[in-house]
Structure 1
Amino acid sequence: MITFRLLQTEVIAMDYIVLDMEWNQPWPGSPSAKKVLPVQIRGEIIQIGAVRVTEEQLVADEFQTLIQPRIYRRLNRRVSKLTGIKEAQLHRDGIPFPQAVEEFRKWCGEDVIFLTWGFDDIGILRENLRLFGLSEDWTERWYNAQMIFNAQTDGSSSQKALKTAMEMFEIEPSRPAHDALGDAYHTALICAMLDLKKGTAQYEQALKNHDNGFHGAELPGCIARKVFYDYADKRAALAAMSGEENLCPTCGRQMLSSRWFAQPGHRYMDLAACPEHGKFLIRIRMSEQPNGLTRVSRLTYEATSEAAAAYARRAEKADPQDQPYASRRRRRRRAASQEIRDNQGGTTASE
């Protein structure tokens, strides 16, 4: 007689962890910005906020913690103004980063998928994990919810602000913006209205349609992406991209801008150089915000990338008029040279 025994198998539910973070950055040119770290980071995490969305896509429990800064101990005043976080608050209520990660992982559980609104958060998290010698394997199952949102709404290939997505889904803000938990909660409300299983299954195609603020997919070799807001006009935006925002993606030091070449669609490209880490190709695209100010989407590429090769080809057949405000700069250079010659002539006469 043959008997059969039914084996009971445990069905493990898969949760989605909607993650958002705030991080501190040193003021350009400050001693902190010149620190040589074993692992270069774009920012030091000071707040982690997360909301669980169940497999049934129900918004569930929350996690939030402040983190004591160890690398950049002085809080950048821009970061403080944006987030509302105070330096004294971090040192009083924050916990060390390794402890924060341990508590966060324990809260997440084992079988989870991470979702963020944008590309930056997961990259910043992995950089901080490497800096502190912590494992980053647990972050591998991650998706950018922006891509899923675009694919399941208007099919757009551009990045949308969280506020814009909330308006499209008629979600009224109920938490503070630029707060890690507040942004994570609002993102979770959006994710609960998407088909996450379908979105993650079709994610690769969504990525192919994405352009990070450019018309057309980004070229291979992109190592950093960032969006800047609220410039008065194109001139102010270009000045910032050539100056205080022109930072090395490896060490954070200000780079030397080479020459901006105009491209169709309000786009420009430049070859910037870091004294320590060499050259990087910078591509930017400008667009007008609803408030009339200028938004800049910036991509940074390795100097050996296809994009950098395109810059070299463009430079070979350059027309001086292609450079923004080139004629004005030429006049200034000529005037400065003439002033030097006049001064030299005066010195000779006095001798």
Structure 2
Amino acid sequence: MQYIVLDLEWNQPWPGSYAAKKVLPVEIHGEIIQIGAVRMLEDGSIADEFQVLVRPKYYKKLNSRVSKLTGIHDSDLKEKGLPFPEALQQFRQWIGGECIFLTWGFDDVTLLEDNILLHDDEPDWITQWYNVQMIFNAQLGCDSSQKALATALGMMNIEPCRPAHDALGDAYHTALICSRLNMEDGIDHYAEALRRHEDGFHGAPPEGCLSKVVFRGYEDKAKAISAMTDLKSHCPQCGCEMPNGAWISQEARRYMTMATCPEHGRFLIRIRLQKDDDGTLRVSRMVYEGASDAARKFDELSQRRKQHRRHRRRTYGERS
């Protein structure tokens, strides 16, 4: 079985911009602008490379921060970028047969699946993928926190030889790390490594976080969200039941809502959905103080959503 080490770069609109207010057929948290991948054989040797620029369809103007980070400019995408369906077709043809996807982080495959759905296609060919960070932590005896790619390279005394924040460069560096890990053993014990990551606070609780619980076994996102909606929230201080508000989505299958205790005020409920090896979803549910940075982010997102809805109502009224 071949390994495909994958990395993506994507564009995000500025909050409050016209592009950010677009209502897309599928909700995404970034539109892919570059696909980079390395083919690695079972013996850890690197056999082939793939890279393609993607011309965005919805978030056409590059966020200046994205451009500065990646070195990709609007002119590059206009001149060299392919439409996403064509780029995806080339990628799949390059992959060939069955493969195991490896990524440095949880976001890339989820983002790829969402972009595929956005273009009226199905990501059902993505059947096996693993976050190398989990295997890295398990085999090097690290704490369960997620490490930056540059940090991991330094820990393994690997000298970077490709540009960072370039999809192919990051995929290549990830492949170098994979070549020094026992990938077969890492995959066999992946569920254990993942549970260690999900069930802990990774050394120290996030600022303002009061509790964390992990739920498992949900068939799909709708059932997971429904279960979290039905789950009763209780005040961490007095234990009284608190009604939940509506969920606000973030990137990488993260959602937030606010619950309020009449006596002790607001508490943020934050969940993250991720796929287990058996194909079911697990949900990490965390409760934060109402004055935490996470709660302030919720307030900002909530305000932007309200402005978006007012804008849509005005636009609809003008058209009618």
TM-score normalized by the length of structure 1: 0.62
Q: Distance in 1 between matches of 2:267 and 2:46?
A: 44
Aligned to 1:21: 8
Q: Distance in 2 between matches of 1:306 and 1:60?
A: 37
Aligned to 1:307: 285
1:215-263, CA deviations, whole angstroms, 9 ceiling, x for partnerless residues? 487633898xxxxxxxxxxxxxxxxxxxxxxx7428x9xx99889xxxx
Aligned to 1:291: none
Aligned to 1:336: none
1:95 to partner: Cα distance: 0.3
Q: 1:81 pairs with 68, 92, 95, which one?
A: 68
1:219 equivalenced with 2:214 (yes/no) = yes
After superposition, the Cα gap between the structure-2 partners of 1:92 and 1:153, relative to the gap in structure 1 and judged at 3 Å, is: same
Structure 1's unaligned 5+ residue stretches are 1-13, 224-246, 260-268, 272-280, 284-298, 316-321, 326-351
TM-score normalized by the length of structure 2: 0.68
Q: How does 1:93-104 map to 2 (within 5 A)?
A: 93-104=80-91
Whichever residue aligns with residue 215 of structure 2, its letter is: P
After superposition, the Cα gap between the structure-2 partners of 1:193 and 1:91, relative to the gap in structure 1 and judged at 3 Å, is: same
User: Could you list the runs of 4 or more consecutive aligned residues of structure 1 that deviate by over 6 angstroms after TM superposition?
Assistant: 255-259
1:146-191, CA deviations, whole angstroms, 9 ceiling, x for partnerless residues? 1111111024211011011101110001100000000000000000
Q: Distance in 2 between matches of 1:53 and 1:212?
A: 31
Structure 2's unaligned 5+ residue stretches are 204-211, 222-247, 261-265, 275-282, 294-320
After superposition, the Cα gap between the structure-2 partners of 1:192 and 1:324, relative to the gap in structure 1 and judged at 3 Å, is: closer
Q: Distance in 1 between matches of 2:95 and 2:4?
A: 7
1:51 to partner: Cα distance: 0.5
What is the percent sequence identity of the aligned residues?
A: 53
1:266-291, CA deviations, whole angstroms, 9 ceiling, x for partnerless residues? xxx953xxxxxxxxx338xxxxxxxx
1:111 to partner: Cα distance: 1.7
Normalized per residue, the structure richer in strand is 2
Q: CA RMSD in A?
A: 3.3
Q: Distance in 2 between matches of 1:182 and 1:306?
A: 31
CA contact (8 A) 2:8 2:36 kept: yes
CA contact (8 A) 2:105 2:131 kept: yes
1:152 equivalenced with 2:139 (yes/no) = yes
Partner-residue secondary structure (3-state), 1:205: helix
1:249 equivalenced with 2:244 (yes/no) = no
1:282 equivalenced with 2:270 (yes/no) = yes
Aligned to 1:199: 186
1:186 equivalenced with 2:173 (yes/no) = yes
Aligned to 2:123: 136
Q: 2:112 pairs with 121, 125, 136, which one?
A: 125
Partner-residue secondary structure (3-state), 1:80: helix
1:169 equivalenced with 2:156 (yes/no) = yes
Q: Distance in 2 between matches of 1:144 and 1:120?
A: 9
CA contact (8 A) 2:133 2:146 kept: yes
Partner-residue secondary structure (3-state), 2:125: helix
1:73-106, CA deviations, whole angstroms, 9 ceiling, x for partnerless residues? 0100110011010011101100010111111011
Q: Distance in 2 between matches of 1:213 and 1:162?
A: 21
CA contact (8 A) 2:36 2:51 kept: yes
Aligned length: 243
Bigger drift between 78-87 and 211-220 goes to 211-220
